[in-house]
């Protein structure tokens, strides 16, 4: 089963243009990528605009790339479907909404600076996480976050981890663990495995 969760950010790469970040409005699922129905998305286009390109499709099964068309807020797969998911998600993972606070380190000139952030972790695995957060005075994360020290409210208690940024868009940050207390590491492994 391939599931694209509501609130996911998908990238549509159109020839000669900057990649478009599109937010999914509802959860969409199908047994295979080739059977995915059109995905309602929030994008920057006016009604009636059509765009074609390569879609970076992030789903519960992993990441793959497909040809797609964006028209009237619907993202539709076109062309031949991919033969497989290219990047598998091998680490045990759990979705949810786990409250998080912390400090983000920015790679800002002339030197690095720190910004307090708060929000929630939407997806946690034994290798990394997806954080949806923002500073107190903004709705988006500042650009150029290098790493984040987070305190996350997990079912077994507070988990503290340092996360290195892998990808960052608007209020979402994907990262891998740089440091975590060994007790939290063991608790997280048991939590993610108990699905």
Are residues 97 and 43 both part of a single domain?
A: no
pLDDT band at 19 (very low <50, low <70, confident <90, very high): confident
Arithmetic mean of pLDDT, 70-77: 88
Are residues 32 and 100 both part of a single domain?
A: no
Its domain, for residue 29, covers 2-88
Is the pTM higher than 0.75? Answer: no
pLDDT band at 60 (very low <50, low <70, confident <90, very high): low
Query: What distance in Å separates the CA atoms of residue 166 and residue 129, rounded to the nearest whole number?
Result: 10
Task: Determine how many CB atoms are found less than 10 A away from the CB of residue 84.
Answer: 10
Domain boundary among 88, 116, 133: 88
Are residues 22 and 56 both part of a single domain?
A: yes
Please tell me the total count of domains within the chain.
Answer: 2
Are residues 164 and 79 both part of a single domain?
A: no
Give the CB-side neighbour count of residue 113, counting CA atoms within 13 A.
Answer: 7
Task: Reply yes or no on whether the pLDDT at 83 is more than 90.
Answer: no
Domain boundary among 88, 112, 139: 88
**Beta 172-180 vs 157-169: how paired, if at all?**
antiparallel
Task: Reply yes or no on whether the pLDDT at 172 is more than 50.
Answer: yes
Query: What distance in Å separates the CA atoms of residue 150 and residue 132, rounded to the nearest whole number?
Result: 12
Lowest mean pLDDT among 58-62, 118-122, 162-166: 58-62
Across 54-58, 78-82, 188-192, which has the greatest mean pLDDT?
Answer: 188-192
Q: Please give the C-alpha separations between residue 103 and each of 63, 107, 122, 144, 146, in angstroms, as whole numbers.
A: 29, 13, 18, 13, 11
Are residues 173 and 117 both part of a single domain?
A: yes
For residues 71 and 88, the model is more confident at 71
Q: pLDDT, tens digit, for every residue of 128-161?
A: 898 988 887 887 888 888 999 999 999 999 999 9
Query: What distance in Å separates the CA atoms of residue 12 and residue 82, rounded to the nearest whole number?
Result: 16
Are residues 57 and 81 both part of a single domain?
A: yes
Domain boundary among 43, 61, 88: 88
Task: Reply yes or no on whether the pLDDT at 86 is more than 50.
Answer: no
Are residues 39 and 77 both part of a single domain?
A: yes
pLDDT band at 81 (very low <50, low <70, confident <90, very high): low
């Amino acid at each position: 089963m391939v599931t694209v969760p509501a609130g996911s950010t998908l990238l549509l790469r159109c020839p000669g243009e900057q990649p478009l970040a599109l937010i999914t409005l509802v959860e969409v699922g199908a047994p295979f990528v080739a059977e995915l129905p059109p995905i309602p998305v929030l994008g920057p286009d006016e009604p009636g605009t059509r765009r074609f390109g390569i879609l970076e499709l992030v789903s519960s099964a992993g990441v793959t790339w497909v040809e797609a068309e964006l028209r009237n807020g619907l993202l539709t797969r076109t062309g031949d479907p991919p033969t497989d998911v290219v990047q598998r998600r091998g680490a045990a993972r759990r979705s949810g909404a786990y409250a998080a606070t912390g400090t983000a380190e920015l790679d800002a000139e002339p030197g690095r600076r720190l910004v307090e952030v708060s929000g929630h972790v939407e997806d946690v695995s034994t290798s990394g996480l997806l954080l949806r957060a923002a500073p107190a005075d903004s709705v988006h994360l500042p650009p150029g976050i290098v790493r984040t020290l987070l305190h996350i409210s997990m079912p077994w208690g507070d988990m503290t981890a340092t996360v290195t940024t892998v990808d960052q868009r608007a209020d979402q940050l994907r990262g891998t663990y740089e440091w975590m207390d060994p007790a939290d590491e063991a608790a997280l492994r048991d939590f993610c495995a108990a699905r």
